[in-house]
Structure 1
Amino acid sequence: MAGFHARFAHRFGRSEPRERALDYLTGLLAPLEKKNGWTLAEQVGQQRPDGVQRLLNHSDWDEDAVRDDVRDFVVETIGAKDGILIGDDTGFLKKGTKSAGVQRQYTGTAGRTENCQIGTFLAYASSKGRALIDRELYLPKSWTDDRERCRAADIADEVPFATKNEHFKWMLQRAIDAEVPFAWVTADEAYGQVKHLRVWLEERQVAHVLATKVNDTVTTTDGDEVRVDALIAALPHQAWKRISGGRGSHGERIYHWARVALRPVWENGFGHWVLARRSISDPTEIAHYVCYGPVGTRLKDLVKVAAARWAIEESFQVAKGECGLDHYQVRLYRAWYRHITLAMAALAYLTALRAQEAAKGAKAMTSPNLYP
């Protein structure tokens, strides 16, 4: 852990927050039921959480620079040219009205409207592992329209209202600018149904497989606007192929998949498709995707990208269950970013360890000395 911490130790202005950050990371990875200020302080031998609170609220350090260091570490350890960037948001249930961005709003974490904060995240996935590499805190208009309330939570006047889709674009642009190696982008229908996001990606020639709602429309070869479900419904029986989207917690994720090409190949060598995933046990259960990618893209390539969306759900589960992502007790805007960044760092460290163990296991399995 000390070696990992040394990668971004220079981001801290003084030795005290530098050392506190190492203690914080160690505590986040400790087998504690709750990882709040009190328990993290106790884990490193402190009687009170004052030092932990000071680290998050007032100490001099650059949380965005640490975020970038964590992203670079993830790329070094699990990066690959065929990597996939995944966008999604998750909820953090909270009490009261003073924590930055909190209000009653729908969160998929609870599956209902709750008093919570919403964080938007970008994950990176490859065959070597997956981790979170960027984050933004969603501020509802009830906050950005009330600048006095914002100031009380340390939200600067220049911080605007931004949708989760705008957050997604900010994070993708940062990944592009940092030359993160990736081949595809994916996200669920909350993002995929937004056409200006799809246009934004196409303008940058970013290949993507985005889930969308059943009544979304796309432009066909003839220039007509057609619903995605109508295109899929017109496919013949033989168009559907039984393909696994990879292993999940309950075994292989096997579905029937099919696709429809939309428009002639563009001069830049990219094409468009509508992709569909149909349940084997219930053929009426169909999910739809809009896709843009190199013309040589195969059906199984699109399936791989669509299925990779589960990697961010798994990242949330590990980050919350093992790295304290949702265990924080902070109210200030910047403190939220600082805790989340350190939790992402803990997840990146854990991901690297597991990738190393997997590589050792694979090497051992292929060693000729195993079977003398």
Structure 2
Amino acid sequence: MTPDKIAAVRGELEAFAAEVFEPFARKDQRRWGQVYLRGLLTDGQRKSVEPMAARLGEDGNRQALANFITTSPWDPAHIRAQLAWRMEEAIGPEALVFDDTRFLKDGSASACVSRQYTGAADKVTNCQVGVSLHLASDHASAAVNWRLFLPPSWDPASPKADADKVARRTACGIPDDVGHVEKWQLALDMLDETRSWGLEVPLAVADAGYGDAAAFRHGLQERGLNYVVGISATLSAQSADAALVAEPYSGRGRPPVAKYPDQPWSVKELVIAAGRKAARPVQWRGGAPPRG
């Protein structure tokens, strides 16, 4: 890359950082936010402060970068909102995509690390898991909201609490009022926050990790969103012609709740019963292969 091209790219990055980090209260925060962003884009797999500082040359002030990340207070919601507005304009989103991503960890000192299932690897691994909301269209997507998932073992109020993990909460900077929340609820919380920024996208997409939760599907419906979500073949459901039946009401006490007279079927059983003629071909665009 020529020096002129490098200068042009750096100018675009600085303009982007100036816009997204505009809510920062202090000038030094805006400066080191831009430097940190550049550090994330430098070559090298390790994205912690020390190796990034070594790659940043004259801007590689390790102490200043560490202070920006660990002890310089700023509201991340304002930054996420700025990013979301910019990505909405650039992408023209047609759908909101909910997903989660694992961050492999060899040790156990980082916040919320635990042996837990992650869909990206389709297995249980020692990792952190981040839940994310993406704006997406046919040509592009970008994560604009995210949450770090706190497993039950890190929640002192959970029956599954692990004493060693709970003891590390303070050192990891986890506030006392933050406890375990299911991933589908984190997804709905992010949806509500994103809509509070004025972003309205009528379609939601998620895999079975979210689609299997009836409360998640009901939450999308209550918010007026159409949705396409994966579900497991073992999930139970009623056939399309099933009807609710209520017992006769005598006029005394609480009216009986209408119920389905028959037991539900698994989704797999319903698909088999519907037969091949009811099937419709669906074509998916190829994506990136799973990592790890």
What TM-score does the superposition give when structure 1 sets the normalisation length? 0.62
Structure 1 residues 110, 128: closer, same or farther in 2, change over 3 A? closer
Q: 1:75 Cα deviation (Å)?
A: 0.6
Identity %: 29
Asked if the contact 1:193–1:211 (Cα under 8 Å) also holds between the matched residues in 2, the reply is yes
Whole-Å separation in 1 of the counterparts to 2:175 and 2:224: 34
Q: 1:135 Cα deviation (Å)?
A: 0.6
Q: Pick the aligned partner of 2:92 from 70, 79, 95.
A: 79
The residue number in structure 2 matching 1:217 is 236
Asked which structure has the greater CA Rg, the reply is 2
More displaced, 155-164 or 214-223?
A: 214-223
Provide structure 2 residue ranges, at least 5 long, that are not aligned to the other structure. 1-12, 157-162, 244-259
Q: How many residues get paired?
A: 251
Q: Pick the aligned partner of 1:141 from 147, 152, 158.
A: 152
Structure 1 residues 4, 118: closer, same or farther in 2, change over 3 A? same
Counterpart residue identity of residue 149, structure 1: R
Measured against aligned partners, the alpha-carbon deviations of 1:27-72 in whole angstroms (never above 9, x if no partner) come to: 2223334333123213332455212111110113222211111111
Q: Pick the aligned partner of 1:63 from 38, 52, 76.
A: 76
Q: 1:249 Cα deviation (Å)?
A: 5.4
More displaced, 3-12 or 159-168?
A: 3-12
The residue number in structure 1 matching 2:204 is 185
The residue number in structure 2 matching 1:103 is 114
Whole-Å separation in 2 of the counterparts to 1:134 and 1:53: 23
Local SS of the residue matching 1:11: coil
Whole-Å separation in 2 of the counterparts to 1:144 and 1:28: 31
Provide structure 1 residue ranges, at least 5 long, that are not aligned to the other structure. 251-312, 318-372
Q: Pick the aligned partner of 1:158 from 165, 177, 180.
A: 177
Local SS of the residue matching 1:246: coil
The residue number in structure 1 matching 2:160 is none
The residue number in structure 2 matching 1:240 is 279
Asked if the contact 2:235–2:267 (Cα under 8 Å) also holds between the matched residues in 1, the reply is yes
Structure 1 residues 121, 9: closer, same or farther in 2, change over 3 A? closer
Greater relative CO, 1 or 2 (CA 8 Å, sep 6+): 1
Q: 1:92 Cα deviation (Å)?
A: 0.9
Whole-Å separation in 2 of the counterparts to 1:92 and 1:237: 41
The residue number in structure 2 matching 1:13 is 25
Whole-Å separation in 1 of the counterparts to 2:125 and 2:242: 45
Whole-Å separation in 2 of the counterparts to 1:227 and 1:189: 15
Whole-Å separation in 2 of the counterparts to 1:47 and 1:29: 14
Q: Pick the aligned partner of 2:139 from 128, 133, 140.
A: 128
Counterpart residue identity of residue 27, structure 1: G
Structure 1 residues 126, 47: closer, same or farther in 2, change over 3 A? closer
Q: 1:99 Cα deviation (Å)?
A: 1.4
The residue number in structure 2 matching 1:286 is none
Local SS of the residue matching 2:177: coil
Whole-Å separation in 1 of the counterparts to 2:65 and 2:236: 50
Q: CA RMSD in A?
A: 2.4
Asked if the contact 2:100–2:120 (Cα under 8 Å) also holds between the matched residues in 1, the reply is no
Whole-Å separation in 1 of the counterparts to 2:128 and 2:282: 37
Local SS of the residue matching 2:274: coil
Local SS of the residue matching 1:244: coil
Counterpart residue identity of residue 139, structure 1: L
The residue number in structure 1 matching 2:129 is 118
Counterpart residue identity of residue 29, structure 1: L
